[in-house]
């Protein structure tokens, strides 16, 4: 029966797109402004980005489907924490037991001092990355319970995650510096010292160059964002090929994001976050807010505001819900529409029933007033015919009290 209602009044009561309405109702104005700033570099400009690496991977992760974003975010934070912890465990002793500079010849004491300083910086950096990436993972797991919450969490951690990535990159590079310093401090022959130094430099340059080249084809947008750090030696910041392919890659990511983070936020696909995902007037909002306040007095003001925003995002104004209530099965249909929204708009079953009941009561009140107008003596014949057509579904027993009251006027 409820399916029949949806067929008859589809333009009034529609099943929401769960990803879109759920995501849209979770964003504040500040969230939307932040999201706009984050995605802007993916659709315009593509100029040289000296600090693009601070947002590259988190931005592309925002484009992931809602069913995958939580797993991707937690996997990334877990990987950072584990890798940093493993590196920390291998080099912690270098800083905790520094070299005794006085035991080295005068010409090597400066190198020994530099070795101790670099070791301390490496260990301190890795300790911070391990600690804070782990606690970020703890909080994300405990507080990000659904896709909209994960998207919002990730949105506000874009540069935080980029900083973790960069600070995971620096300590291993400094560890290679420690290897070279150790060779100069402990190798007897100059040939051995410079052989180790040359091999380390060649390995870093070879791996870094190959990595940057492969990523420029495999993941061009990410490669473009990291070009100022990872691909500077290859001239990637000025590469026309990389810029063109990065732009294409970004367009594909944004297309995918329309089914994820942008669902319900950019309905016209212009790359600009819509101010109102579901168009409605201020009058509709005020009317619905007052009606919800009367129907669910026990809700807090914050919860009522979120409920009103969620209903409007689904296209459910007070007028549409009251209109739906006039159809057979309307009560059940309203309950189903609200319940089918992820989380039921934060309402318990009893509260959903109360809201649907309020729509039924509002519908009955409108019809009682109309019944009296039908039998009022001063109504013209044409008016009576038109109004009778609107209320012909009511039974004679239901109209009797109105007829009696009108006849006594």
Summarize pLDDT for 239-281 with one digit per residue, the tens. 889 999 999 999 999 888 888 888 777 777 777 877 654 456 6
347 or 110: which leads in pLDDT: 110
**pLDDT category, 130, cuts 50, 70, 90?**
very high
On whether residue 50 sits in a domain, the answer given is yes
Please check whether residue 268 lies inside any domain of the structure.
Answer: no
**Within-domain flag for 272:** no
Tell me how far apart the alpha carbons of residues 39 and 253 are, in angstroms, rounded to a whole number. 10
Overall average pLDDT of the 152-161 stretch: 94
Which residue range is the domain that position 113 belongs to? 28-257
In this structure, of 21-25, 91-95, 190-194, 258-262, the range with the lowest mean pLDDT score is 21-25
For the cut 70, the answer to whether the pLDDT of residue 329 exceeds it is: yes
User: Do 74 and 205 sit in the same domain of this protein?
Assistant: yes
Mean pLDDT to the nearest integer, 201-213: 94
98 domain-assigned = yes
Does 262 reside within a domain? no
Q: Sign of dihedral through CA atoms 11, 13, 19, 21?
A: positive
Residue 165 pLDDT greater than 80, yes or no: yes
251 and 375 assigned to the same domain: no
Question: Given this model, what pLDDT does residue 79 score?
Answer: 94
Tokens 């392919």, residue located: 245
Quick check: is 389 in a domain? Answer: yes
- Compute the distance between CA of residue 225 and CA of residue 236 in angstroms, rounded to an integer: 10
236 and 301, same domain (yes or no): no
Q: What does the mean pLDDT of the chain come to?
A: 80
Which domain-ending residue is among 257, 290, 309?
257
235 falls within a domain: yes
241 and 298 co-located in one domain = no
With cut-offs at 50, 70 and 90, classify the pLDDT of residue 50: confident
% the chain with pLDDT above 90 = 40
Give the side-chain half-sphere CA count within 13 A for 265: 29
Residues 63 and 191 both lie in one domain: yes
Over 70: is that where the pLDDT of 161 sits? yes
Kindly state the average pLDDT of the residues 278-294.
77
What's phi and psi for 215, nearest 5 deg? -65, -30
pLDDT of residue 279: 52
**pLDDT higher than threshold 90 for residue 32:** no
**Are 42 and 157 found together in one domain?**
yes
Question: Sorting pLDDT into bands at 50, 70 and 90, what band is 123?
Answer: very high
Q: Which residue has the higher pLDDT, 15 or 78?
A: 78
Q: Is residue 274 part of a domain?
A: no
Residue 194's Cβ-side half-sphere holds a number of Cα atoms within 13 Å equal to: 3
Give the pLDDT confidence score for residue 204 in this predicted structure.
Answer: 95
Task: Work out the average pLDDT over 46-61.
Answer: 86
Same domain, 35 and 12: no
Q: Residue 66: what are its φ and ψ, rounded to 5°? A: -60, -25
Give how many domains the chain has, as a whole number. Answer: 2
Instruction: State mean pLDDT over 336-360.
Output: 78
Q: Which of 257, 290, 323 is the last residue of a domain?
A: 257
Instruction: Note whether 69 and 167 are same-domain residues.
Output: yes
The answer to whether residues 198 and 326 belong to one domain is no
- pTM comes to 0.66
Question: Looking at the structure, do residues 248 and 322 belong to the same domain, yes or no?
Answer: no
Examine the domain organization and report whether 9 and 34 are in the same domain. Answer: no
Looking at the predicted structure, is the pLDDT value of residue 150 above 50?
A: yes
Among the ranges given (41-55, 126-140, 216-230, 231-245), the one the predictor scored with the smallest mean pLDDT: 41-55
For residue 374, is pLDDT > 80?
Answer: no
Pair 394, 251 in one domain: no
Measured distance CA(226)–CA(166) in Å, rounded: 10
Say if residues 52 and 371 touch (Cβ distance below 8 Å): no
């Amino acid at each position: 029966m409820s399916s029949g209602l949806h067929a008859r009044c589809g333009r009034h009561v529609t099943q929401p797109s769960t990803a879109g309405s759920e995501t849209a109702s979770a964003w504040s104005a500040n969230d939307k402004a932040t999201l706009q700033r984050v995605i802007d570099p993916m659709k315009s400009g593509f100029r040289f980005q000296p600090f693009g690496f601070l947002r590259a991977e988190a931005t592309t992760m925002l484009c992931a489907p809602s069913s995958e974003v939580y797993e991707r975010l937690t996997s990334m934070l877990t990987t950072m924490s584990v890798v940093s912890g493993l590196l920390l465990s291998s080099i912690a002793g270098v800083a905790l037991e520094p070299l005794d500079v006085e035991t080295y010849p005068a010409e090597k004491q400066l190198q020994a001092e530099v070795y101790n300083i670099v070791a301390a910086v490496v260990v301190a950096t890795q300790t911070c990355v391990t600690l804070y990436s782990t606690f970020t993972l703890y909080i994300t797991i405990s507080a990000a319970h659904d896709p909209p919450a994960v998207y919002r969490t990730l949105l506000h951690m874009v540069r935080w995650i980029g900083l973790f990535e960069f600070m995971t990159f620096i300590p291993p590079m400094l560890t290679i510096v420690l290897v070279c310093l150790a060779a100069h401090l402990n190798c007897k022959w100059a040939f051995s010292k410079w052989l180790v130094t040359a091999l380390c430099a060649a390995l870093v340059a070879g791996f870094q160059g190959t990595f940057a080249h492969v990523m420029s084809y495999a993941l061009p947008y990410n490669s473009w964002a990291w070009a100022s750090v990872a691909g500077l030696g290859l001239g990637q910041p000025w590469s026309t090929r990389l810029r063109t392919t990065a732009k294409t890659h970004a367009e594909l990511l944004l297309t995918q994001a329309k089914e994820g983070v942008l669902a319900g936020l950019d309905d016209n696909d212009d790359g600009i976050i819509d101010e109102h995902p579901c168009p409605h007037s201020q009058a509709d909002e005020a009317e619905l807010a007052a009606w919800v306040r009367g129907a669910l007095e026990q809700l807090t003001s914050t919860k009522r505001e979120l409920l009103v925003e969620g209903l409007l995002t689904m296209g459910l104004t007070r007028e549409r819900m009251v209109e739906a209530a006039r159809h057979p099965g309307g009560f059940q249909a309203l309950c189903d529409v609200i319940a089918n929204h992820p989380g039921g708009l934060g309402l318990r079953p009893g509260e959903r029933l109360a809201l649907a009941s309020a729509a039924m009561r509002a519908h009955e009140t409108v019809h009682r007033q109309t019944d009296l107008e039908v039998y009022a003596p001063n109504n013209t014949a044409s008016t009576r015919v038109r109004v009778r057509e609107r209320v012909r579904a009511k039974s004679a027993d239901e109209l009797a009290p109105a007829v009696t009251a009108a006849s006594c006027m």
